[in-house]
Structure 1
Amino acid sequence: MIFAALLALALAAPALAVPAVRGMPATGKLSAHAHVTGPKFNIDATFDIVGSYDGNPTQVTVKVNSGLTLDPNLGTGEYLYHIHTNPLDPSGNCTLAFAHLDPYNVTESITCDPNFKQYCQEGDFSGKWGKLKGTQSGAIDQFSFSDPFVRFFPQDASLLGRSIVIHSANKTRIACGNITSILDGTMSFSGQPTNKPSSFVTDFPSAAPAQPAILISPFNGTDLPSQTFLDALPYPISFPAIPLDKALNIEFFQHTHDVKVNNVQTTVTQPDAKAAYGYGPTFNW
C-alpha cells in the first residue's frame, strides 16, 4: 500500500548526529514561554515549552490560573488550544494569529486522531493530547505532555515567534498570547517579552487559508486506513511528520506524486520533509 510505504519511510528516516547543530552543547535545552490571556472571561494561562538537542520529545507544561469555567456561554466546558502561525500585534487581537501551525499542510479538513499524531497538524495540541477540561473555579492544575512532533527548528516548523490560542467549543477564539523565547530575541534575559519580532522565524503567512468544505475522519484509533478507503477520500492525506528521534532537523520540499482523490487518479504536490543537517536557533545576545 502506498500509504503504508510512506509511513514506513518516515519512521525509517535516519537520526542525525547532534553535533550538526550549532550554538548549544548536546545537553543544552531550548525553551519558550507563552502567557495566554482573555480579558472577557478572565482567562489566564501559561505554557512552558522545553526542547533539547538529543532527539527527545518537546515537553509542554500547561497551567490555567483562571477563566476556563463551565459557563454555558463558553459551550460544553471543553476547550481547544493550538499553536497558531502568526504572532499577535500589541492590540492582542486573537484573529491575527491566523491558522494552526501546519507545515505538512494536513489542513483542518482531517480530524486529528491522537493514535496517529504524525498525521495531525503540528500545532494541534488539543487534537493530539485532549481538550482542556473546564472546572467550576476556572482553574486547571498544571499538567505536561511530551510531543515528538513539535519543533524549535527549522523555521518552517518552528514554534518560535508564533502564538497560542484557546478556543471555546464552537471554535471562537477566547484567549491568546505570543510565544516568547531568549533564543529568538522575543524574551529578555529577565523573562519579560521584548515586543520584538522573532529573529529566527521571519516568514509568516499573510492570511489564513480557507476553511474546508468537508471534514473527514480517516483514522479510527486503531488501524491505518486501507488504500481503497484513502482513494475514495475527497482530499489527499498529508505525508506523515518525522518525529524528533528520527531527525533532529528536517528540510521541507514540495513532493509531486500521483494519488487517487474521489477514486480519480490525480497528480498533486504536497509538502514533505527529509532529515537534514543544519543550525537551530542560537541565543540572540
Structure 2
Amino acid sequence: MPLWLEVVVRTLASALALFVFTRLLGKRQISQLSFFEYVTGITIGSITAYLSVDVDNHWSLGLISMGVWFLVSLGIEYLQIKSVKARNWIDSKSTVLIKGGKILEENLKKEKLTNDELLEQLRKKSIFQAAQVEFAVIEPDGEINALLKKEYQPITPSSLGIKVAPEQETQTVIIDGNIMDEPLATSGYSRQWLHTELEKLGVSLDNVNIAQVDSFGQLYVDLYDDMIQVPQPQERATLYAQLKKCEADLELFALSTDETEAKQMYGECSAKLIGVINQMKPLLTQ
C-alpha cells in the first residue's frame, strides 16, 4: 500500500474511532468538562493524531491505547455517578466568590482568579456592580453564576402576585418555503389557516424563510427578501383594545341610563370586566 494511502486510511479510521468513543462517553464530554475529562480529551486527541501519521508502528497499538483511555474515562464517570465523595474529589466543589455584595479575596486566590476576571464574567451576565450581587459561585466547570440582591432583581409576574397561564412551545410551521405539517397540526391549525394568514400579511409561501406560531396563535414570518417589511402580529393588542372598549361602553351605558336597575347591572358588568382585563393585561400587552 502506498504511504499516502496508508495515512489516509489511518486518518479515517482514527476519526471514526474517536467519533464512536466520544459518542459513547456522552454529551457531557463536550459541554461540562471536569479536570479528568479535559485531560482525557487532550490525550485521546493526541493519540488519534499520532495514529494517523505514525506509520512505523502498527495501527492496532494506537486503537488499544485509545480503548484503554476510553474505559478509564467511562469508569471514572460511573464512579462520579455512584459516589458523591469521588465526584467532589474529581470535579471539585463550587466555590463562593461573592457573598452579600462582598468579594471573598481568599476564595478568589484559591481559584486563581483576578478581580478583573471576576468583573469580566459578571459583565457577561449584565452585572456591572459587584455590590449588587447577593451570591456568586464558580462552578466545577469554571462557569461563574451570580444571584442579584432582591432589590436589583427584575420584576416578574410572580413578584407582583400575578398568575399567568403556562405558555406552550412555539412551533415552526414553515422552513425554507416548505410547510411542516406535524408542527402545524400540533399547534391546532391547518394549511388553509396558514395560507389565509400569509395572505393577510401579503407574502407568498415561496418567499418565506421561517414561520413560527406562538401559543397565542400569532404567526411570525421571516422572509428571504429582507427589503420587505412584514407587519408584526396584532391579535393580542387588538383583543386588549376591544376589551377596553367594551368596558368603556358599559360605563357609558351606566351613566346614560336613568333606570336604577339597569345602571346597577351595567356597573357590575363593568367592574367584572375590569377584573378580567387586569388579569389578562400581562398576557395581552407583553
Q: Normalized against structure 1, the TM-score is what?
A: 0.17
| Structure ranking higher in helix proportion | 2
**Higher relative contact order (Cα pairs below 8 Å, separated by 6+ residues):** 1
Larger Rg over CA atoms: 2
| Structure ranking higher in strand proportion | 1
